[in-house]
Chains A and B, each alone.
Chain A
């Protein structure tokens, strides 16, 4: 059962400098945010969730919080980092995805190993290269001793301090994350708002390529009345796995053996670069999922460089060229055996490539465009020759 996230969503947007007007309850171009029946949105819960999200005491060094890798001033990523850095600057294997509009994902993480935002929040705390805790007990200890937290948890969940569990903690975090939604980009105003001047001519041409020769829309979905830019599926598009092709049979079977012995999928994929390239296969053991990763949203893509699950592509132009080459970053490289059947070489002209990149720049919501401008980093194409 789902219900619409309403006024609470507005409050947070306005507080963060968002541009939603009082009459709108949904950002333009987005559907209602799915909310779990057992975790309804309330203003108090959202505020609590935001505090938890930003609290760096929940790490062994006291310096890492969710906001470290998902910083609001960086469109809830840690751009321009290629892969994220946790405690003691330890690095993982994955690029930090944005929290913005993550409420619309049916599964969380690049390999979809979490079924919802509540579950996802549990994992980074106990990952050795993220917050580094051995278990969640230190978090509960801190919360139970903190007077403001105790009052907030009592108000939101009607629970005494000793009764607080990670269930409530993650529900609050998820409730906050469900308010981090944004639409109303130039594309939204053009496509759904009826403002035909909202995009430039080049961006309009780029939309045409996106829908046609670029073959983008099949996975980065645009619907009649909203656009999530993701199909919530997993595809091998030839990133990462190309480099370890000869290793795949060995790694895949070793991984399956480790899994049968009970070794932790979360820890293994983030700490072992080669296993990390197995993608969703690590979660499902399905052959369709070898090297497959979740289709991310393209909303705000221009301000969340670098790109792909391993952060290996720095600019949007590099991304388009990877697709042009039919699933290899440099033309002429060997295509991996498990490449999705949806990826094939494209025959785009230079102009079409530029148009496509320009279109993707039209997907930035105003609140994040302003911040990115002030930082001078838009992640769009460089002027180097191709």
Chain B
């Protein structure tokens, strides 16, 4: 856009972001921040949880396809363009080659370099073999403009469950895809990757900002739905010595945020469906996991309701997430240095909360 960058204080930035002036259309590189620290400020886009699902042959569930298509098209419209794009996991629903291929095809129009994170729906059919052919290593790190980025495969589980428990790969995949499944098994990063992470971070200075991309939360939130990483404490211990750590995770299909010591946690939205989802999503042509506890969510006329994608502004080593919510008002969850944790300025204030509905 033809604009001179404006000088903005952090307080102004937050105020504007909360009122939506900056959110939704302006990545931070358009606004030169007067409080910028040693790290250069930049933006990356984040799309996650597409759950592309094959019905038969070249017929895929239309709703999930359209969510991903729209997110990719809009991410390409971001101006100025983001530095890179991350896909946060669960590209496929049942991990088949057809689904991964179709998902990769829908991602292909993205103009910037794509970094992919493994999700359990991608993994448990062939343990990531085909996924790796398409998207590369399952865990790795790189540096960009003074920030150290790490991708983890955080949806692994016990070896016995993975390799010995199930007679077929298909059954293994469908067991992991269920909710509140007594046959299920908790996510974890695992000893091997934790060792790799510790070694990788040995050469990183303590004041260098770190951003970790993970599918599972690297926290323990709700075990029944695997909003859970079993070795969360061990992983967090490896990250705590660093002064500015950001974890961005998918899987939960809703806005979550938290602060544990030096680590800020932010979830991203799904392009497919929200948790919980309206009962009408389970009606025709799709195999969304069955909600074992009935939850009353009204049928949205707009099937993109409560889905979306996000762009992440990184400045002074902390991440601010701008949620692009389809058919809805965009939201910002940003790190507030005065409070020392992420803050949702729009929703969190008591006077702005929407009272829960008691009937529909």
Interface residues of A (CB under 8 A from B): 215, 218, 249, 252-253, 256-257, 260-261, 285-288, 326, 335, 337-342, 344-345
Contact = CB atoms under 8 A, between A and B. Distances in A.
Nearest to B78: A287
A251 to B, nearest CB: 11
Given A249-B76, A344-B303, A285 B25 contact: yes
A261 B303 CA distance: 36
A128 to B, nearest CB: 25
Given A256-B1, A287-B24, A340 B327 contact: yes
A151 B305 CA distance: 56
9 contacts: A287-B25, A326-B62, A337-B70, A337-B72, A337-B73, A338-B70, A340-B302, A341-B300, A342-B327
Contacts of A339: 66, 70
Contacts of B3: 260
Contacts of B302: 340-342
A172 B304 CA distance: 43
Nearest to B302: A341
B277 to A, nearest CB: 14
B77 A341 contact: no
A338 B25 CA distance: 16
A260 B69 CA distance: 28
B74 A287 contact: yes
A260 B24 contact: no
Q: Is the interface of B mostly helix, strand, loop or mixed?
A: loop
Contacts of A344: 62-63, 303
A318 B43 CA distance: 44
Given A253-B1, A341-B326, 5 more contacts: A260-B3, A261-B2, A287-B24, A338-B70, A341-B303
Nearest to B79: A253
Interface in B60-110: 62-63, 66, 69-70, 72-74, 76-77, 79
B142 interface: no
Interface in B243-267: none
A65 B74 CA distance: 41
A257 B62 contact: no
A15 to B, nearest CB: 41
Contacts of A257: 1-2
A215 B2 CA distance: 42
A261 to B, nearest CB: 7
Which of A253, A261, A326, A338 has the most chain B CB atoms inside 10 A of its CB?
A338
Contact of B327 (A215, A252, A288): A288
B269 to A, nearest CB: 14
The 9 nearest A-B residue pairs measured at CB = A341-B304, A337-B73, A341-B302, A218-B301, A341-B303, A342-B302, A342-B301, A287-B74, A341-B327
A286 B24 contact: yes
Interface of B: 1-3, 24-25, 62-63, 66, 69-70, 72-74, 76-77, 79, 300-305, 324, 326-328
A335 B76 contact: no
Contact of A253 (B72, B77, B300, B305): B77
B268 to A, nearest CB: 17
Nearest to A219: B301
Contacts of A345: 62
Contacts of B327: 288, 340-342
A341 B40 CA distance: 37
A287 B77 contact: yes
B110 to A, nearest CB: 12
A81 to B, nearest CB: 33
Given A260-B3, A344-B303, A337 B69 contact: yes
Given A252-B77, A341-B327, A215 B25 contact: no
A178 to B, nearest CB: 30
Given A215-B301, A218-B301, A342-B303, A287 B2 contact: no
A251 B305 CA distance: 27
A347 to B, nearest CB: 10
Contacts of A256: 1, 79
Contact of B77 (A215, A249, A326, A340): A249
A345 B61 CA distance: 12
A218 B303 CA distance: 13
A344 to B, nearest CB: 7
Nearest to A339: B66
A257 B2 CA distance: 6
A113 B196 CA distance: 57
A294 to B, nearest CB: 16
A289 to B, nearest CB: 10
A260 B1 contact: yes
B201 to A, nearest CB: 37
A286 B79 CA distance: 13
Contacts of B25: 285-287
Contacts of A338: 70, 73-74
Contacts of A249: 76-77
Contacts of A285: 25
Contacts of A287: 24-25, 74, 77, 324
A267 to B, nearest CB: 20
A261 B1 CA distance: 10
Contacts of A341: 66, 300, 302-305, 326-327
A250 to B, nearest CB: 10
Contacts of B328: 288
A326 B303 CA distance: 13
B301 A335 contact: no
Contacts of B300: 341
Contacts of B24: 286-287
A341 B71 CA distance: 12
B324 to A, nearest CB: 7
B61 to A, nearest CB: 12
Nearest to A259: B1
A78 B70 CA distance: 36
Which of B1, B74, B301 has the most chain A CB atoms inside 10 A of its CB?
B301
Contacts of B305: 341
Contacts of A215: 301
